[in-house]
Amino acid sequence: MKYMNSTLLKKLNTTLPSSIKRLIGPYIRKKLFNNAVFRNQFEELNQTDKNDTTAIKKMQFEKLKATLIHAYEHTKYYKRKFDECGFNAYNFTSTSELNKIPLLQRKDIAENFTDLQADNITDYYKSTTGGSSGVSLNILLDKDSIYRERAFIYHFWSKCGYDYKISKIASFRGGIDFNSKTHRHNPLYNEIQLNPCLINKDTVNKYFLLIEKFKPQFLHGLPSAIYSFCKYAGQSGIDLGNKYKAVLFISENVYEYQRQFIEQSLGCKSYAYYGHTERSVFAEQVGEGYHFNDCYSYVEFDDKSSNIITTGFINRKMPLIRYELDDSIIQIPGTGLYEITGHRDGLLYGKNNEIISAASLYIHDSTMDKVANQQFIQEYPGIVKMLVCPINELTEGDRKLIEKYYQDKLGSAIDIEVEVAKDLIFTKRGKLPLIIQKGAFHQ
């Protein structure tokens, strides 16, 4: 076997003792970027960078048509749906014809899980979404999509100086799977993984020393965790400036106050991409907006709801055609770029069903300099508990001041109570949601 089987590669990376993984790390790493699927996808992306818009759109259309034919020939669900709506994948000549195909929603995937599986793909695995939109979703992914996805990520990161053959990363991601440890080594991605759930004033120096010893060129991970790390480091007198080439965000929504503080603390730019577990869309941050990668999927926009509708190319085991996401887009005038908003942002609901977006929940005040992170929990309309995690300590006067600021900001729509907390509420994947909705009243 010229290239290591992806199942064996994953097993080596997850089951071997840390000491052995570090010893054979370079070997494991080479098996990733020497994989033919990875290299071919990476080269295609590099070539696409050189092509004009006409050539890129032609390539995208060919991928789209191939995906439609594959779905029709190998899944019961799309054979049935295409026949019912009179859509002929073989005679497909214009993207306007896609309107014949009904939209695919999360409930459709759950209800038609077996019929959505392609019968000619035998090397695959099951993954589960994080459930940030309310309910987790099982999805089957073919093994080659692992390598293709990684090629898209590394190609995007290469634009800020990342070299997948040699670059090292300190990554704040993961959750309960750390078993209460602060870190572990991941040779497959040439990174040290840092537990995002244990960052506080007592551990920040340990985190810093671990990173310094590893000598990464990039920080990577959940914005909330990196934000906390920078806040605690600054309070402890740790200078983080000009040590890294860039900060690479994943998974969570990035709020502007977080981005500004992190970039100021680290003295470098930050970059983010938008994707999800289903592997049906990939958008890259360009300045203040996002650009959807045409090699990854074909993206439509619903004029009525502004929701993203996407047909992905890289997962052939469970093709998702005209998949409607909970996230929506707003076009940034004169740029060709988009602002992406949606369920990751979260909403609070007032006494009379007023809607308060997450974007309005940060106050630029010196009192908040004492807070490492915050979280809003709502169980009933018009009532919100705000948890604040202090860097050192907050006096009762500080707590009341924060409460007054937010009460004035939210007005009579919401009654807010501020509670000082040692720990906030993380998901199983180590994410720190800004808003946690516990009530069934929100829409």
Question: Would residue 430 count as lying in a domain?
Answer: yes
Local structure of residue 326 (DSSP, 8 states):
E
Cβ atoms within 10 Å, residue 126: 10
CA dist 294 and 408 (Å) reads: 45
The DSSP line for 165-179 is TT--EEEE---GGGT
pLDDT at 319 (0 to 100): 97
Q: Do residues 283 and 274 make contact, with C-beta atoms less than 8 angstroms apart?
A: yes
Quote the tokens at residue 170: 């300190």
pLDDT at 258 (0 to 100): 87
Question: Would residue 413 count as lying in a domain?
Answer: yes
Tokens 């295609």 -> residue = 44
pLDDT at 208 (0 to 100): 97
Average pLDDT (301-322) is: 90
The DSSP line for 53-122 is HHHHHHHHHHHHHHHHHHHHHH-HHHHHHHHHHT--STT---GGGGGGSPPB-HHHHHHTTTTTS-TT--
Query: Looking at the whole model, is its pTM more than 0.85?
Result: no
Average pLDDT (216-237) is: 92
Instruction: Please state the separation of Cα 158 from the chain's center in Å.
Output: 18
User: For 248-277, how does the pLDDT look when each residue is reduced to its tens digit (9 = 90+)?
Assistant: 998 777 888 889 999 999 999 999 999 988
pLDDT at 418 (0 to 100): 94
- Nearest CA to 147 among 20, 248, 252, 7? 7
List, in sequence order, every residue forming a beta bridge with 143; answer none if it has no partner.
none
Tokens 């940060």 -> residue = 362
Q: Do residues 362 and 386 make contact, with C-beta atoms less than 8 angstroms apart?
A: no
Produce one character per residue of 346-367: b if its CB has 16 or more CB atoms within 10 Å, e if not: bebbbeeeeebebeebeeeeeb
pLDDT at 5 (0 to 100): 53
Task: Give the structural domain span for 384.
Answer: 347-437
Q: Which of 23-27, 164-168, 221-225, 405-409 has the lowest mean pLDDT?
A: 23-27
CA dist 174 and 197 (Å) reads: 9
> Considering Cα of 69, then 75, then 79, then 84, what sign does the dihedral take?
negative
- Nearest CA to 230 among 213, 243, 215? 243
pLDDT at 369 (0 to 100): 81
Angle between helices 6-15 and 144-157 (to 10 degrees): 70
CA dist 109 and 320 (Å) reads: 9
Average pLDDT (111-136) is: 82
User: For 174-201, how does the pLDDT look when each residue is reduced to its tens digit (9 = 90+)?
Assistant: 755 676 788 988 888 899 999 887 888 8
Which one-letter amino acid corresponds to residue 368? M
pLDDT at 443 (0 to 100): 45
Quote the tokens at residue 348: 């609070």
Average pLDDT (371-391) is: 90
Cβ atoms within 10 Å, residue 104: 23
Specify the number of domains making up the chain: 1
pLDDT at 357 (0 to 100): 64
Angle between helices 223-235 and 256-266 (to 10 degrees): 50
pLDDT of 104 higher than 60: yes
The DSSP line for 290-316 is EEE-TTTEEEEE-TTT-EEEEEESS--
pLDDT at 168 (0 to 100): 96
Average pLDDT (26-47) is: 90
Cβ atoms within 10 Å, residue 85: 11
> Considering Cα of 412, then 413, then 417, then 421, what sign does the dihedral take?
negative
The CATH number for 357's domain is 3.30.300.30
pLDDT of 318 higher than 80: yes
Tokens 């099982």 -> residue = 138
Q: Which of the four pLDDT bands, split at 50, 70 and 90, describes residue 133? A: very low
pLDDT of 11 higher than 60: no
Q: Do residues 308 and 281 make contact, with C-beta atoms less than 8 angstroms apart?
A: yes
Question: Would residue 97 count as lying in a domain?
Answer: no
Average pLDDT (407-431) is: 83
pLDDT at 134 (0 to 100): 47
Quote the tokens at residue 203: 């551990």
CA dist 128 and 411 (Å) reads: 39
Residues 6+ apart with CB under 8 A from 27: none
Question: Would residue 389 count as lying in a domain?
Answer: yes
CA distances 332 to 303, 307, 343, Å, are 15, 15, 20
| Residues present in the chain in total | 443
Find the radius of gyration of the CA atoms of the chain: 23
Instruction: Please state the separation of Cα 22 from the chain's center in Å.
Output: 27
Question: Would residue 377 count as lying in a domain?
Answer: yes
Quote the tokens at residue 183: 């870190």
